Structure 1
């Protein structure tokens, strides 16, 4: 990737900060395979991923303050976030609206979010309650190695996917979906969540297309890295790797083919309108 634009100021660095207070048992009742699947999925709300675990008493969180770290990883996140801000500010302004920038929180091991207390094992996630994306960079890099989704643009795709959830939140999509999901059975609720995730993949593609048109961020091999990363986190591939078989009705993010297809659709069109994953199957 070619990232020579301004870094975003909306990065909150909590790495190296010790969390004080009572300990929290996370993962109680989850087997190793189930925990691995959770760890490999890129989700919206860790409260949903951890289900009842976040309803347990929360710790009285206190952070030991440390100076923000100025390193290549933080700068990369800030640069990618800056690129997403430029694209989505312009897109919302074109539509007569105003884009409110999200914050990316970098943390180590565990942190407190507006959606509850979460550990790195839930993977990168977006919390719609506080408008923040949470990333443990070491864990994300380890996930990329395990999944074979390496490369700088693969990492940028993950960030752009989570920012895509913020775009959905600003457009009111997440709120409308949550209303529809109430009272739905598990299979129907999961199917709706798949549509949410595929739309975030598509929006990541829209971002890449717009950033390429205006600032030429893509280099040879970047698109392939993005498509490979999208396919690597398909539910079918993750379930087959962890348990040896797939259970389609339990999918919450879509198949490898679906995720790559919708990322490509956003990339080819560069239009939010092309990302209507709720209109039909695909």
Structure 2
């Protein structure tokens, strides 16, 4: 019988991260270097866009950005920290973790959407599919790159510097703050993203010790929201798909999320927040353990 292999994350204790005086400051400096190095590597494939046939450009560039992010992170950690990059290890159970994350993201947003429609905040109709390249972009590129940056880089190295609970909280707040520049963003939208994605996906990473479940969850949540239900993803324009989930006249901004979309709704905050809290309870001992 297949089972998820649960393990604490590898925080790093060699080369640049070996125990020494002011090791917390070294961890923060290494975090910043990794963060911007991965972003730089991920921008390189976009330079190829003029050379790619227009019909395939968005899907191909998104796949290359995801691959470049993974490769850059692996190389920097492997050679910089001098250790196996366990958080990207595929065996044992990487495929199962990815599948569990994909299933979780699909189910959790579907539950959120069903409640919002039942409360009369949105109307929902299904139709012929559209918008596949954009759906691939917001799912794969965001799911891979953002999980590397916010979980494998920021959360892991904040954990190394200050401990698990601080790392969960600070990385979640940063993730929410990074969305405040999106269209229709509000402070409540930033808070909702911090809880729904920052806390929940941080807890998933702490549970499995690898990125695959968090990547799968993030990608499936975005794909389900944007393509299956046709709702705005993080304040962006609808990307098409097989559904159109539109605000009903007189809908409450608090309940519905307003122009930002369902992610800024009180409903999504409660649904994803409860899931995140359940996983945090499961990993509480891991988070309290000495770094």
> Normalized against structure 2, the TM-score is what?
0.29
Structure in which a larger fraction of residues adopt strand = 1
> Normalized against structure 1, the TM-score is what?
0.29
Structure in which a larger fraction of residues adopt helix = 2
Higher radius of gyration, 1 or 2:
2
Pick 1 or 2: higher relative contact order, CA cutoff 8 A, min separation 6. 2
